[in-house]
Chains A and B, each alone.
Chain A
Amino acid sequence: MTRLQWAAVAAGLALLAAMPWFADKFAVQFASKVLIFALFASSLNLLVGQAGLVSLGHAGFFGVAGYVLALASPEYDAAPLWSTLAMAVGVAALLALAIGALVVRTRGVYFLMATLAFGQMLFHLFHDGDFAGGSDGLQIFARPAGTLFGVALFDLEQYRHFHWVVLAACALVLVFLARLRASPFGRVLDGIRVNEHRMRALGFATVRYKLVAFVLAGALAGLAGYLSACQFGVVNPESLGWHQSGAVLLMVILGGMGSLTGPALGAAVWWGMELFFQGFTRHWQLPMGAVIVAVALFLPDGLAGLWRRVRPPRAVAAEASVREGAA
């Protein structure tokens, strides 16, 4: 990213952090939701944009983490934040490890089908099983308590606190993903996306790298799912169904696959469009779909690609961040 882009991201984060002081409750809660989905979409982008693995089952990890919080919460009382968070992310990661071990050996449309199949298995497990509320799902009556060594750090029941916590999580994850992109691991994923066969010939055990990426992406999706369950106080089978997986994939494509900030942008535009078009018509999905089709047709690099059209990267900067296009 260029310095100007970093400045734009920093300004955006500052604005989001200051929001609780000037915006009303509805706007702040809307921003929290967008941030959670920015996190969710960014986790998927690790697979889609970097490793070139298009998954249609990513909501499975998002939804399962929410269920872990719901199941671990006492009925009318707040659950401890840190332990339930670790549990939720851990379960999502373990699930990703189990599913990933089977699916990362496949490629292209087979990977898509395999992830879709596992996502649907999870959906039916929670939908048809009676251990977690069946098709109604579960309610979380109290948000987790953010205490550390007996000291209450923040109160998630207050929407402002919740917003700041979500923002901090999102910023931390984005910094981590930025570092990851430039790391040896990130470069291996780029290489796998562009030419996996050659990566193997160079001596990279590509399956292992794809599996680690799958587990990381699953764990981060779990973090997003946990926060989402906190915010809405309800988890249901829809949260891990293929509709949800498709929606988050569209956010990634809308914002720009492979771009660091693209998925966050995609999440913002997605929820912004829903809000905007719902103000006009009950059939809001129709104009929203038209916009998505238009982006797919005219902006193959997504909305983040608009930036690169206005300001083409210099040749030297290209070394760090050349994406496909020429392939």
Chain B
Amino acid sequence: MSAAVLAADNLARRFGGLAAVDGVSLAVAMGEVHAVIGPNGAGKSTLVNLLSGDLAPSGGCIVLDGRDVSRLGPARRSHLGLGRSYQKTNVFLPFTVFENCRLAAQSRLATSMRFLRPASSFAQVNEAAGRALEATGLEPRRHAVVATLSHGEQRHVEIAMALATRPRVLLLDEPLAGMGAEESAGIVALLRRLRPDHAIVLVEHDMDAVFALADTLTVMANGRVIASGPPATVREHPEVRRAYLGDESHA
């Protein structure tokens, strides 16, 4: 395995007396999908928020490209190559699909303190936004206002915005949430295409997608990692079967 692009070491986050994330370590390399699964309340979303900088850790550290980013906010981490999507769609509903991606791509300008030149005239921003639309198959919907899109399409916008910032690490928090089978297959295919150029942390409930994509699988319960490794090994882990997959899930 090549060197980790993003690594968490002994990460912890407490909310009052509750240890939502408790001593979690994981690493993800370029070209790798590291899936995180676990029952509701296992601490998966808290983990993603810690990795993205939306939450500050109570303990442990996060290393991005060999640099300790534990104390940096989400904006700084974004500029260091971290892109994320949200479990609950978190986009700019009144804007068009293109403007959502364009604004995301605009964040890569050295500064947006530009007051007179039209934002639409920055070629490299438009290109990055256009590429994100192409990658996610949203090109035909570029002029549609996001609020008018279907849930599945909005999930695509969510990922397209993360891509438009040209991240090397993608943190995807349940990208398949609320999707039908066909839409899910579309996202799985998209993530396959993205894998070679990205290090992907994928939090997901959809087991078919997880086993189709994951190179490494980490199982969490009650804020702790109970197993981690290649998916085939992890799924046979007795504690995993008891805590999460259920004994009947051999098939």
Contacts and interface: CB of A to CB of B under 8 A. Distances in A.
Interface of A: 176, 179-180, 182-188, 190-191, 194-195, 197-206, 209, 212, 315-316, 318-320, 322-327
A202 B94 contact: no
A256 B237 CA distance: 62
Interface string B98-130: 110011101111001111111110100000000
A198 B120 contact: no
Given A182-B119, A205-B75, A188 B90 contact: no
Contacts of B236: none
B113 to A, nearest CB: 6
28 contacts: A179-B118, A182-B120, A183-B117, A183-B119, A184-B113, A184-B119, A185-B112, A185-B113, A185-B115, A191-B92, A194-B93, A198-B90, A198-B91, A200-B74, A201-B52, A201-B54, A201-B78, A202-B103, A203-B76, A203-B165, A204-B75, A209-B113, A319-B96, A320-B120, A322-B95, A322-B96, A323-B94, A327-B94
Contacts of B114: 183-185
Contact of B116 (A183, A200, A319, A327): A183
Given A179-B115, A194-B95, A201-B54, A187 B103 contact: yes
Contact of B145 (A182, A191, A326): A326
Contacts of B94: 194, 322-327
B14 interface: no
B145 A202 contact: no
B198 interface: no
A43 to B, nearest CB: 15
B243 interface: no
B105 to A, nearest CB: 9
B65 to A, nearest CB: 16
Interface residues of B, number: 42
B189 interface: no
Contacts of A212: 113
**Minimum-distance CB pairs A-B, first 8:** A203-B78, A326-B147, A184-B112, A203-B107, A202-B107, A184-B119, A182-B118, A184-B114
Given A200-B74, A318-B145, A180 B161 contact: no
B143 A184 contact: no
A204 B78 CA distance: 9
Interface string B191-235: 000000000000000000000000000000000000000000000
B93 A326 contact: yes
B116 A179 contact: yes
Contact of A187 (B76, B78, B91, B106): B106
Contacts of A180: 115-116
A197 B89 CA distance: 12
A190 B102 CA distance: 13
A202 B78 contact: yes
Interface in B37-65: 52, 54
Nearest to A195: B92
A154 to B, nearest CB: 27
Interface in B117-153: 117-120, 122, 143-145, 147-148
A259 to B, nearest CB: 14
A117 to B, nearest CB: 27
Given A191-B92, A202-B104, A322-B94, A209 B165 contact: no
B84 interface: yes
Contacts of A326: 93-94, 145, 147-148
Contacts of B95: 190, 194, 322
B71 interface: no
A273 B107 CA distance: 44
B79 interface: yes
A188 B103 CA distance: 7
B238 interface: no
A179 B103 CA distance: 17
Contacts of B144: 315
Contacts of B99: 187, 319, 322
Contacts of B178: none
A209 B114 CA distance: 11
B75 A322 contact: no
Given A201-B54, A202-B161, A319-B143, A184 B92 contact: no
B90 A191 contact: no
Contacts of A209: 112-113
Contacts of B109: 184
A186 B114 CA distance: 9
Contacts of A195: 90-92
